[in-house]
Chains A and B, each alone.
Chain A
C-alpha cells in the first residue's frame, strides 16, 4: 500500500483523555448569529478546537455559512472559505491538492495542515453526495469532510432533505387535511453509505455533540489517520425540530438512546459501535422507545399512534434485522414493509 498511496504526514492529534484535557483556546468564537440552542454551532466550535490552529476550514452554503460569517463579524479564528452548496468534497480535495503540490515543489513551507470541509445534510446527503463520494476515493489527499445534519434545509426555511426523518413536518412536507404524512422517504444512511462504498477511505464515524468529548476525539482521529475521511454528526435543531432550545442536549442523547442515531466508527474497514450505542447493542442498557424522542419535537406533533408504531418498527428493523445492526441495511431476507395508510 505504501508504494501506491502517496499520503503526506498528518498532525499528531492524540485523543483527549478527559474533558479537563480539552484546551481552553477557541478558534470559532463570537460574531455568529445562530439560533439559541443550535447544536451545529457547537459542532463548529468543537471541531475547530479539536483540529487546532494549523487548520483551514471550507464551509458549504447552509446555516453554518449564512449565520456564521456576516461580513465584518466572522466567528472564525481559523482561515475559512465559503464553498458552494454541493462542493464540500471538491473544496476539501482542491485545498489538499494545492498544499500537496506546493509543498512538494518547494513553493510553500512543508508542514501538515488540517483541511476540513463541512456541509449540512442538504449540501452533503442531497446535492454534494457525488463530490463527497469522489473525494473519498482519492487516497492521497489528507482531508476531512464533516456533515452536520440538522435534518432539514434549516437555513432556507426548514425544507425536507434526503436526511429528514420519515413523516417530519417541514415547509415542504406540511401535513394537510387529506394527507397527513407528506414526507414518506426514510432518512438516507449517509455514514453507512460512505463507509461501505469507499473501501480506501480509512475513517468514517457518526457523532453527536451531546457526547462532545467522543465527537472531538473522532474528529482528531479523522484528521490524523491520513487520506480523506468522513464524519456524520446529528445536530438537534430547535427551529427545524420545533422544541424548546434548552432541550438540545437531551434530544441528542434521546436520539442515541432510542437507537435512532447509532454511534459507530469504521477505521480501516473495522466497525466499532461506540458510546451508548455499544452498550445498547451489548444489551447492557435497554433501547428506549422512539415515542420518548418523537413526542418532544413539534415536527412529529401530527403523528398518530400508528405513525409512531411504524417509526418504531423501522428502528427495530435497523437493530434486529439488518445484518450489521444500525449500520448497513442488508437483511438476510426481504420481509413485508407496510407503512400505515396516510
Chain B
C-alpha cells in the first residue's frame, strides 16, 4: 500500500534538515504546534499546505480534527468557533477564496479570536491567474488581522511558530495571516531546519482562552448586540490589542532567538546592504530574491542600493521604518498589488510608507512607487535596475511620475 510521507520521522533530540516547500514548512509548524482543529478547502496555491496536513494526519504524525469544509466562508467560521471553545486552530486560503471568506475574516478579529491562517498570495479574479499578487491578504489590513510576509520556507516555519505565540498571547488575541507568495514560495523547495518538539514546547505555551472560553463551566454570552452604546469602546479594545501586539512580536522574536538560536534581527523588516546605501528599495515577499541579486550586480557598477523587506505589515513599525528610511536620499517602494484611485495612483505599500514618513520634522526623502510582478509575472533583475535608476532620478530631483508600472507590455 502506498503510504503518504511528508518528512521522515524526526529524531527527538536533534534538529533535522529537510528539503521542503514553503507550504510544507507551515504544515510542519502546525504539527509542532500541536494544532487541534484544521479546516481545508481547495484553491491554488495555498491548498498545498492542506495536502501536507492531510498526509501528516493520515500517517498519525499529527492529532487534530481535520475538516474539509464546503467553502471558504464555512472553513473560517468552523475554526473561529473551535478557537472560541479553546482549540488551537489553523486554516488558510488564496485569492478570491480568501475574499469568499470575507465575512468570517471580518468578525474573527472583532471577536478576539487568535486564528492562524496561511495566505498563498494569488491574483484576484478576473481574469483568472494563479500567480502572486498581494491584494488578497491586504484586503483585511484595516480589520485587526496581523499580517506578515515571509520569503523563505525556513522563515515560513519559524514565523508560523512565532505567529501562534503572538496571536494567542492574552494581550493580543487577534488573528494572524502568514502570507506566502504563490508558487514562488508555496511550491518551491528549500532546505529547512526542523526544530525539535522539546524546543517548540519551551517556546510555545498552550493556548489558554481563560475567562473568554465558551464552555458550560463558563457561561458567558459572546458577541451580543452592542450598538451605539458600546461598539466604540469595543473597537478601542481591538485598537489597544493591535498596539500591544507590537511589543509582543518583539518579545516573541527575542525568545525565538534564545531558544532556537536563529535570529531574524529586527522582527518587523529585514535590511539588506543598507549600511552605506545612497538609495533604498522597499518591498514584501519573494521579490526580495531578484532585488538582492540586482543589488549585488549594481554594486559592482558603483551604485550603492539597499533593500528593506517588510516582514510585518500589521502591526506596521512606522517609527522604526521611517527612522531607517530617512537615512537615504530617495526611496522606491515596490508593490505587488494595486490600489486603484489611491493617492498618486500608487500601490498599498507605497501609501503606507509615505504615511509612515509624514509626521514629525524628520527628513522626508522623495518616494517613488512601483507596481510590478502582478498576476505572478516574474520580477527580473533588469526590472529592479530600472526601478533603482528611477529612484536615483528622484534623488536628483528629476521630474517623473510618482507611480510607475514596471515590466509592463506597452
Contacts and interface: CB of A to CB of B under 8 A. Distances in A.
B214 A56 contact: yes
Contacts of A98: 36-37, 65, 81-87
A89 interface: yes
Contact of A113 (B64, B103, B216, B222): B216
Interface in A68-100: 69-72, 74, 76-84, 86-87, 89-91, 93-95, 97-100
A81 B77 contact: no
Given A77-B219, A83-B77, A130 B70 contact: yes
Interface stretch (A15-23, A104-112, A226-234, A286-294): A104-112
B341 interface: no
Given A84-B107, A105-B63, A58 B221 contact: no
A241 interface: no
A82 B81 contact: no
Interface string B206-239: 1000000011101111111111011000000000
Contacts of B37: 94, 97-98, 101
A66 interface: yes
A164 interface: no
Contacts of B82: 94-95, 97-98, 101
Given A101-B65, A130-B74, A81 B214 contact: yes
A56 B83 CA distance: 14
Interface in B76-119: 77-87, 103-104, 107
Interface string B317-346: 000000000000000000000000000000
Nearest to B64: A101
A94 B81 CA distance: 5
Contact of A90 (B36, B77, B83, B220): B77
A87 B77 contact: yes
B71 interface: yes
Q: How large is the interface on B (under 10, 10 to 19, 20 to 34, 35 or more residues)?
A: 35 or more
A313 interface: no
B77 A102 contact: no
Contacts of A83: 77, 81
A97 B86 CA distance: 11
Interface string B41-65: 0000000000000000000000111
A335 to B, nearest CB: 35
Contacts of A65: 225
B67 interface: yes
B103 to A, nearest CB: 6
A224 B107 CA distance: 32
Nearest to A87: B77
A134 B70 contact: yes
A82 B103 contact: no
A133 interface: yes
Given A69-B221, A81-B223, A102 B87 contact: yes
Contacts of A101: 36-37, 63-65, 82, 87
A74 B224 CA distance: 8
A89 B74 contact: yes
A94 B79 contact: yes
B241 interface: no
A312 interface: no
A87 B85 contact: no
B225 A70 contact: yes
A66 to B, nearest CB: 6
Contact of B77 (A54, A70, A131): A131
A90 B69 contact: yes
A49 to B, nearest CB: 15
B292 interface: no
Interface in B100-141: 103-104, 107
B222 A81 contact: yes
A138 interface: yes
Contact of B78 (A71, A90, A107, A130): A90
A77 B78 CA distance: 24
Contact of B73 (A86, A105, A138): A86
Given A84-B77, A98-B83, A113-B215, 8 more contacts: A69-B223, A89-B74, A97-B82, A97-B87, A98-B36, A98-B37, A105-B36, A107-B86
21 contacts: A55-B216, A71-B224, A79-B219, A79-B220, A80-B220, A81-B84, A81-B223, A82-B224, A84-B73, A86-B73, A87-B74, A90-B78, A91-B77, A94-B79, A95-B84, A97-B67, A102-B86, A102-B87, A107-B206, A113-B215, A131-B70
For the complex of A and B, the 3 pairs showing the least CB-CB separation, nearest first, are A94-B81, A90-B77, A98-B85
